[in-house]
């Protein structure tokens, strides 16, 4: 086999390996968003923890980024300052929003008594979906 043929074969093998690796990464990469039903259930569980008087448990179900941005005491204080977060919430909608040029799924709930909206984004961390952002 000549050097030229060996070089062509090596290049073709390298391209095939890189192509298969890229395809495998694309196929196996984690989803940016959960399904609507799955995300809604996670958001509802978070709100249920708040309603049950367990803001620390709710805080534990958030991403590291959420925890870094808002410490546990600050979060507990925010919940106390907004008691309507503890009232029953009704699922309103889910919609795509852009966050740093990435389409994310936002879950919106409305306070059954106050009518105040709560918006949540979920993030994928350690194989689980968790609350990543909360706004009200």
pTM of the model: 0.75
Residue 43 pLDDT > 60: yes
Mean pLDDT score, 3-13: 73
Kindly indicate the confidence band of residue 25, based on its pLDDT and cuts at 50, 70 and 90.
very low
**pLDDT, position 77:** 92
Cα 58 from chain centroid? 15
| Average predicted confidence (pLDDT) for the chain | 85
Cα 34 from chain centroid? 7
Q: Assess contact for 135 and 119: CB atoms under 8 A.
A: yes
**pLDDT, position 26:** 46
Residue pLDDT, tens place only, 85-117: 999 999 999 988 888 888 888 999 999 999 999
Cα–Cα dist 4/129, whole Å? 51
* Residue 105 neighbours by CB under 8 Å, 6+ apart: 33, 34, 36, 39, 94, 95, 96, 97, 121, 122
């Amino acid at each position: 086999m000549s050097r030229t043929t060996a070089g062509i074969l090596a290049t073709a093998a390298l391209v095939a390996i890189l192509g298969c690796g890229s395809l495998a990464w694309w196929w196996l990469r984690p989803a940016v968003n959960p399904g609507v039903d799955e995300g809604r259930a996670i958001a509802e569980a978070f709100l249920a923890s708040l309603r049950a008087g367990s803001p620390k448990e709710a805080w534990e179900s958030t991403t590291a980024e959420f925890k870094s941005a808002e410490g546990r005491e600050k979060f507990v204080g925010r919940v106390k300052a907004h008691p309507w977060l503890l009232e029953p919430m009704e699922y309103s909608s889910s919609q795509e929003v852009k966050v740093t040029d990435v389409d994310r799924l936002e879950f919106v709930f409305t306070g059954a008594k106050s009518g105040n909206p709560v918006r949540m984004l979920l993030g994928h961390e350690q194989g689980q979906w968790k609350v990543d952002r909360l706004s009200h």
